[in-house]
Amino acid sequence: MRILKEVIPYIVIVLVVVLLRTFIATPVIVSGSSMDPTLKDGQLLILNKLAHRFNRYDIVVIDVVINNKKERIVKRIIGLPGETVEYKNKKLYINGEKVRDDFSNITYDFSTAELGEKKIPKNHYLVLGDNRNDSVDSRDYRVGFINEDDIVGKPVFRLWPLNKIGIL
């Protein structure tokens, strides 16, 4: 009985950690250079899995299937459900109006119509990497518009490297 009393606190700690990681927050590692200069390859982030409201310019982590392989990618939301998105002469236009895009100045011209839909479908988002020349994102047919259900959450804190630690 005494051993059980000593073990119970450890079991509770393990259960709490598992529940937190499964439902609330989990670490995620940035893979590749698609989010340069905002996020670098190998950085360790804490992902808020409770986030369910997404705005333009939010950074999100998404589950996608590329080449029959499930991957987790980090991208920035550019277009919201029901919007038309167009880049003309490296400038972002949402529903025909010029909008600021401080995250990249190298985006080639494209529009949501070229991606198969005039407007972004309901419950879907258009996502891009900040390093637009080296990003598999909504412009790629394998990714396309992102269903809200495929968004795992928002990274909220950077743990690594230590010189970049802090809130995103």
Active-site residue flag, 31: no
Instruction: Choose, from 40, 75, 111, 119, the residue flagged as catalytic.
Output: 75
Cis preceding linkage at 27, omega within 30 = no
Q: How many angstroms separate the CA atoms of 100 and 97, rounded?
A: 10
Of 33, 61, 42, the C-alpha closest to 130 is: 33
Instruction: Choose, from 31, 34, 49, 88, the residue flagged as catalytic.
Output: 34
Of 38, 81, 43, 33, the C-alpha closest to 59 is: 38
Active-site residue flag, 70: no
Which residues are catalytically annotated? 34, 75
